[in-house]
Amino acid sequence: MINARIGCVPYLNARPLIYGIEKQVIYGSPVELSLMLKKGELDVALCPVGASLIEKWSFFIDGMGIVADGDVYSVILVPKKPLELIRTVTIDPESRSSVLLLRVILECFYGKKIRFVSYDEPADGFLLIGDKAINYRKSHPEHPVIDLGGVWKKLTGLPFVFALWTFSPVGKWSREEIKELLTKTKEKGLSAREKIALDSHQLHYLTHYIRYEVGEKEKMGIEEFLKNLIKIEIIDRSFPFYWV
């Protein structure tokens, strides 16, 4: 087995992608993974697409990622006002893709600038991702939430890719070997979702909300996201992707 340094989020949604290699994995939040990749501490990571686009990292494993085609369930804005009136948001400090997704939705599609504020300031809503979002929904079933995967799909007609296996620009291992390992791992993991899930709710999440395939439509979703990030000047220019 190759000994590459593989970084992954500790969230339920990523478990099928690391099934059987859990002990080899280095865990971190999306923000931490992108920092580790930048510092050359990982060879490959399930990196938030938002971070990869900002850093212009462009070598990705083809065919898989953390994807939603419509509602994602675990990336939510908990609003205190209707979406179009939201101006200040408390963000989940672990997130990179979803924070940028929220900015794109509000700035590009609603023409509204938003300000991200810290936990101790009042805000018009807050953003949660991953297991924290799932737990919040469980414990506050009466609170309305806005599902950012669903909003993106309604606005663009496209899936949204939250994370991709992203190669370090200075990784030590052969990209093909890493791809082979992670592709086999994903195949086993997808068939093991019934074992991974602790209850029917988790199984439903892993089989109906989170998708793992990245094909042409998903790549169009990434291009559309990039185009909008350029529009709001978070990224200065487009660049090509290399799918290993």
Ligand X SMILES: C=C(O[C@@H]1C=C(C(=O)O)C=C[C@H]1O)C(=O)O
Contact flag: residue 5 with ligand X (CB under 6 A):
no
Question: Which member of 25, 45, 74, 147 binds ligand X (CB under 6 A)?
Answer: 74
Residue 9 or 182: the one with the smaller Cβ distance to ligand X is 9
For residue 225, the one-letter residue type is: F
SS3 124: coil
Question: Which member of 15, 96, 175, 193 binds ligand X (CB under 6 A)?
Answer: 96
Q: In the bound complex, what is the minimum distance in angstroms from residue 143's beta carbon to ligand X?
A: 17
Q: What is the dihedral of CA 128, 129, 135, 141, to 10 degrees?
A: 60
Residue 123 or 163: the one with the smaller Cβ distance to ligand X is 163
Phi/psi class of residue 40: alpha, beta or left (left: φ > 0; alpha: ψ in -120 to 50)? left
- Cβ atoms within 10 Å, residue 104: 25
Residue 3 or 37: the one with the smaller Cβ distance to ligand X is 37
Query: For the chain, where are the alpha helices, taking DSSP H only?
Result: 30-38, 49-55, 97-104, 130-139, 148-156, 175-191, 193-196, 200-204, 216-231
Q: In the bound complex, what is the minimum distance in angstroms from residue 78's beta carbon to ligand X?
A: 14
Near ligand X in 51-70, by CB under 6 A: 66
Query: How many angstroms separate the CA atoms of 75 and 151, rounded?
Result: 11
DSSP 3-state percent helix, strand, coil across the chain (nearest 5): 45, 20, 35
Residue 106 or 163: the one with the smaller Cβ distance to ligand X is 163
| Closest of 110, 88, 93 to residue 232, by C-alpha | 110
Q: In the bound complex, what is the minimum distance in angstroms from residue 175's beta carbon to ligand X?
A: 21
Residue 49 or 123: the one with the smaller Cβ distance to ligand X is 49
Contact flag: residue 159 with ligand X (CB under 6 A):
no
Question: Which member of 90, 98, 156, 228 binds ligand X (CB under 6 A)?
Answer: 98
- Which pair of tokens denotes residue 50? 């938002």
Stretch that binds ligand X, among 90-98, 166-174, 223-231, 234-242 (CB under 6 A): 90-98
Stretch that binds ligand X, among 11-19, 79-87, 197-205, 227-235 (CB under 6 A): 11-19
Task: Give me the DSSP letters along 134-200.
Answer: HHHHHH-TTS--EEHHHHHHHHHSS-EEEEEEEE-TT--S-HHHHHHHHHHHHHHHHHTHHHH-SSH
Query: How many angstroms separate the CA atoms of 185 and 181, rounded?
Result: 6
Contact flag: residue 9 with ligand X (CB under 6 A):
yes
Contact flag: residue 126 with ligand X (CB under 6 A):
no
Contact flag: residue 104 with ligand X (CB under 6 A):
no
Contact flag: residue 162 with ligand X (CB under 6 A):
yes
Residues within the interface to ligand X (CB under 6 A):
9, 11, 13-14, 30, 48, 50, 66, 72, 74-75, 95-98, 129-130, 133, 162-163
